Each structure stands twice: as structure tokens, then as C-alpha cells.
């Protein structure tokens, strides 16, 4: 799963060909899920997101910015409801389909996209889109 920034948050250099020393500037405009762990035994899940961008050939490159991690644990105040809504079916059985819909539910239905963005990087402003729709917007504080 990935989210696109309306405006890039930065720029990175990517070596396209070591022999010819060809380098390309790539916009940091893609926030991508990089790790997902769901442990039903401990009732905990962890998500990690990284920034990156696509070069002109369509290859995605991860940036050197650190990943943003978020954990959700059933034994933490306020997170049991999220755990039960996302990781359990209507009968309380473990969900085993951890596709895009699973991650969307965590990020958008339960508002954890703000935790990912605000907990990982110091960004004054950013707007993220998913499937062509704005899903998160952080604006620079007015002085």
C-alpha cells in the first residue's frame, strides 16, 4: 500500500547506472507500507512506513529518512477497540487477510495515519492521497 503526497516532501539522488555514473533526481512523494506484523498470540500489530519515490523507469526507491513505526496492542488503553475491529472478525476469530483493506481500516477508519505522519518525521505540511482522494492533510500553523 502506498500514499502519494500532493507536493514532494524532498528530493533524493538515485544512481541509475554505476558504469556510466548516470544519476537521477527523484521526488520523495510516496509513503509506502514497508513492514506489517500481526501477532494474534500477543494481540499486537506493528506497521512501518517509509518515504521514497519512483525514477523515470518506474522503479521505486526508498529514501534514507528513518521509517515511522506504529504499534497497536489490545492491552493498551484505547487500542483494544482498534485491535478487535481490525484483527478480529464478527465472532472474535483472528483475521488472516492483511491486504490493503486491512491497512486502510487501521489508517483511515481508526485515524492512525496521523500517528504515522506525526510520529515519524518533522513535516510542517503535507497532504496525502490514496486512490485519488485526499486522506490526510497537515497544514503549517498560522502565526
pLDDT digits (tens, 9 = 90+) for 28-46: 999 999 999 999 999 999 9
Q: pLDDT, tens digit, for every residue of 74-114?
A: 999 989 999 999 999 999 999 999 999 999 999 999 999 99
Q: Which residue has the higher pLDDT, 50 or 124?
A: 50
DSSP bridge partners of 133: 130
Contact 25, 67 (CB under 8 A): no
Q: Determine the Cα–Cα distance for residues 113 and 130; give it in Å rounded to an integer.
A: 12
Among 115, 112, 142, 117, smallest CA distance to 128 is for: 117
**What's the predicted TM-score (pTM) here?**
0.89
Indicate the Cα dihedral angle 75, 66, 36, 39, nearest 10°: -30
Contact 126, 9 (CB under 8 A): yes
Using the predicted structure, report yes or no on whether residue 139 has a pLDDT greater than 90. no
Nine cell digits for residue 133: 482522494
Q: Determine the Cα–Cα distance for residues 56 and 24; give it in Å rounded to an integer.
A: 8
Nine cell digits for residue 87: 484483527
Amino acid at each position: 500500500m502506498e500514499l502519494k503526497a500532493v507536493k514532494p516532501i524532498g528530493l533524493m539522488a538515485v544512481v541509475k547506472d554505476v558504469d556510466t555514473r548516470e544519476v537521477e533526481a527523484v521526488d520523495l512523494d510516496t509513503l509506502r507500507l514497508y513492514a506489517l506484523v500481526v501477532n494474534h498470540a500477543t494481540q499486537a500489530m506493528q506497521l512501518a512506513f517509509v518515504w521514497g519515490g519512483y525514477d523515470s523507469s518506474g522503479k521505486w526507491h526508498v529514501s534514507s529518512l528513518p521509517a515511522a513505526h506504529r504499534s497497536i496492542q489490545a492491552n493498551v488503553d484505547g487500542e483494544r477497540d482498534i485491535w478487535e475491529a481490525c484483527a478480529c472478525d464478527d465472532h472474535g476469530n483472528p483475521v488472516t487477510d492483511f491486504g490493503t483493506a486491512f491497512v486502510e481500516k487501521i489508517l483511515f477508519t481508526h485515524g492512525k495515519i496521523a500517528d504515522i505522519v506525526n510520529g515519524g518525521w518533522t513535516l510542517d505540511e503535507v497532504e496525502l492521497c490514496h486512490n485519488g482522494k485526499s486522506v490526510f492533510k497537515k497544514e503549517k500553523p498560522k502565526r
